[in-house]
Amino acid sequence: MSRYDPIKHYLIDQPARGQHEISLSFNKVEAILGFSLCDSAYKHPAWWANDRTHSQAKAWLDAGWRVVQVGIKSQMVHFEMQSSVSKAGNGKHHNSYMRGSENIEKGVTKEDILIVVSCTERKIWKEDPSRPVYVPAIDAYRGTSVTWLRNKVPEGRGFHCVILSAKYGFIEPEHPIAYYNVTFSKPNTGPISDISLKNQVCCQRRRFGTQKRRLCDFKYIFVKTGNRDKGRNKASYLKKVKTAFADTDARDNVRKLDNNLWHLILRTVDP
* 68 located within any domain: yes
Number of separate domains in the chain: 2
- Do 27 and 136 sit in the same domain of this protein? no
* 105 located within any domain: no
CA-based radius of gyration for the chain? 20
* 77 located within any domain: yes
- Do 175 and 47 sit in the same domain of this protein? no
- Do 211 and 78 sit in the same domain of this protein? no
Strand partners, 220: 113
The pLDDT value given to residue 219: 92
* 163 located within any domain: yes
Can you say whether residue 156 is alpha, beta or left, with left for phi > 0 and alpha for psi between -120 and 50 degrees?
left
- Do 261 and 172 sit in the same domain of this protein? yes
Boundary (domain end) residue, out of 41, 73, 99: 99
- Do 129 and 9 sit in the same domain of this protein? no
The pLDDT value given to residue 16: 80
The pLDDT value given to residue 11: 93
- Do 95 and 129 sit in the same domain of this protein? no
Regions of the chain short of the pLDDT cut 50: 84-102, 231, 271
* 152 located within any domain: yes
- Do 137 and 74 sit in the same domain of this protein? no
Boundary (domain end) residue, out of 99, 128, 158: 99
For residue range 3-30, list pLDDT tens digits in order: 999 999 999 998 888 888 889 999 999 9
- Do 117 and 231 sit in the same domain of this protein? yes
Predicted TM-score (pTM) of the model is: 0.62
* 95 located within any domain: yes
Three-class SS state of 161 = strand
- Residue 74's domain comprises 5-99
- Do 169 and 36 sit in the same domain of this protein? no
- Do 123 and 183 sit in the same domain of this protein? yes
Q: How many CA atoms lie within 13 A of 35 on its CB side?
A: 10
For residue range 209-260, list pLDDT tens digits in order: 888 999 999 999 999 998 655 545 556 788 999 999 999 989 888 999 988 8
Boundary (domain end) residue, out of 68, 99, 130: 99
The pLDDT value given to residue 142: 93
* 104 located within any domain: no
Which residue type, as a one-letter code, is found at position 252? D
The pLDDT value given to residue 60: 94
CA distances to 156, 163, 192 from 209, in Å: 10, 16, 27
* 114 located within any domain: yes
- Do 10 and 116 sit in the same domain of this protein? no
Q: Cα(113)–Cα(215) distance, rounded to whole angstroms?
A: 10
The DSSP annotation for 74-114 comes to: TTEEEEEE-TTS-TTS-S---S----GGG-PPTT--GGGEE
- Do 258 and 126 sit in the same domain of this protein? yes
